[in-house]
Amino acid sequence: MTNIHRAASAKIPDFPVGRPESCPFDPDEIYTRLRAEEPMTLVHCPAGMDAWLISRYEDMRHMLADRSLSSRAAGSDHMLPSYDGHEPLPGFMIQLDGQEHARLRRLLIGEFTVRKMEALRPCVQKITDEHIDAMLAGAGADLVRDFALPISSKVICEMLGVPYKDHEMFQLDSQVLMSFEADEVSRGAATRRLEAYLGELVRQRIAEPQDDLLSRLIARSNDTDRPLEVGELATLSVLLLVTGHETTANMITLGMLMLLENPGKLAELRADPDLIGTAVEELLRYLSVIQFGLLRYATQDVTIGGIEVKAGEWLVAAVPSGNRDESVFPSSDTLDLGRQVRTNLAFGFGAHVCIGQHLARIELQVALSTLLRRIPELRLAEPLAQSEFKRNDIVYGLQSMRVTW
């Protein structure tokens, strides 16, 4: 595995580039310059490698659709890549390529269709209303702890068949995996705890199947010529559990904060609740909570954005920059809740596009629209300037969000 030693024509800070303190909703202004002048440039990643940073939307789509670029991320035992030289973990779908990736995705894709996710909408609504009822029993709440995190956690728990009573444990370990500040020992320990926990649940479902995704996954796997082993099932379940609540929870609170800080947009959405579908798409584009980016590894020479990338080199797509690309999204720095766009990069693109994207959309639509309808006087309990953001996490969001009404 090679590191890149070619000189870039302009030097930028180590990646990821943080969001400006003055406006926590926007990507750093350096991306505007890069898209115009140097859409492919070298950066240094937290895991230690140099990579070609891609800042334009179309170049990212090209990168994410190119099957000669690998997702293997060097086979790390946590969410960040490393140079330990090991093969990807069996079952860790986001690191697998080709048939190994397709094998797992085929087993899951039927569980996440638009029709099946829409069928979950009443369940999501019920869970959302229950948490709003609990919030309204008091005079204020932390929208992260009391609303967004439990809603997204409970929904994925009910889908998978994971006991929600264990949510504090897996939420803490998930936070470790998502943090750049956690060291490799801590991340490894968190991974092993989660895999042991989900592995035991897998064994229980093998012995006594239930009406949940995990049991159906096991049954579907057993009907193939290469059934998944317990370790693969455990790792895949960890991935579904962690990604199934972290990103959505952060989007709920960050999206609500964005609306509260833009009273005109808030009034627009309240006046036309049917706007919630396009509003959610626009918030996903505008906020782009996946701030580390999407990594790929070149298995052969490839040209992207006019730059020849050599075999053995890394690329990273700066999703917040791609979703603000002016050539694709006119007035891209303006929040337009009625914006009609074909797609954005919030859920990735290509073979590895997020399998849970339809569920995330429904959770966001239900959570935001229900908050606006049921708590019309919702407001921040503290000034925005006092908000603490997850600036050193893979997924951007708020540490807490105190609200009152």
Is residue 215 situated within a structural domain? yes
| Helix (H) / strand (E) containing 69 | strand 69-70
C-alpha neighbours within 13 Å on the C-beta side of residue 383: 2
> Dihedrals φ, ψ of 397, to 5°?
175, -160
Helices and strands: H and E segment counts in the chain: 14, 10
- Return d(Cα 191, Cα 266) in angstroms, integer: 40
Identity of residue 338: G
SS3 372: helix
- Locate 294 and state its tokens: 């999407």
Alpha helices in 5-97 (DSSP H): 30-37, 57-65
| Helix (H) / strand (E) containing 289 | none
Is residue 159 situated within a structural domain? yes
What does 315-333 look like in DSSP terms, one character per residue? EEE-HHHHTT-TTTSTTTT
Contact 295, 88 (CB under 8 A): no
Contacts of 58 (CB under 8 A, 6+ apart): 325, 327, 328
Q: What is the maximum alpha-carbon separation in the chain?
A: 60
- Return d(Cα 293, Cα 72) in angstroms, integer: 15
- Return d(Cα 257, Cα 220) in angstroms, integer: 41
DSSP letter, residue 145: I
In this structure, what CATH number is given to the domain that contains residue 141? 1.10.630.10
- Give pLDDT < 50 ranges for the chain: 1-9, 74-84
Is residue 12 situated within a structural domain? no
- Return d(Cα 397, Cα 287) in angstroms, integer: 9
Beta-strand relationship, 302-304 and 69-70: unpaired
- The residue among 296, 344, 291 whose CA lies nearest residue 316 is 296
Give the number of domains in the chain. 1
305: left (phi over 0), alpha (psi -120 to 50) or beta: left
Is residue 221 situated within a structural domain? yes
Q: What is the pLDDT of residue 180?
A: 81
Domain that holds residue 178: 30-404
Contact 276, 368 (CB under 8 A): yes
Q: What is the pLDDT of residue 1?
A: 35
Quote the pTM value. Answer: 0.93
Alpha helices in 348-400 (DSSP H): 357-374
Is residue 16 situated within a structural domain? no
Is residue 300 situated within a structural domain? yes
Q: What is the pLDDT of residue 55?
A: 96
Contact 296, 69 (CB under 8 A): yes
- Return d(Cα 238, Cα 194) in angstroms, integer: 6
Q: What is the pLDDT of residue 86?
A: 57
Is residue 18 situated within a structural domain? no
Q: What is the pLDDT of residues 198-213, one digit of tens each?
A: 999 999 999 999 999 9
CA distances from 294 to 90, 318, 394 (A): 20, 7, 10
Q: What is the pLDDT of residue 25?
A: 96
Is residue 13 situated within a structural domain? no
- The residue among 271, 267, 321, 274 whose CA lies nearest residue 294 is 321
- Return d(Cα 248, Cα 32) in angstroms, integer: 27
Q: What is the pLDDT of residue 155?
A: 97
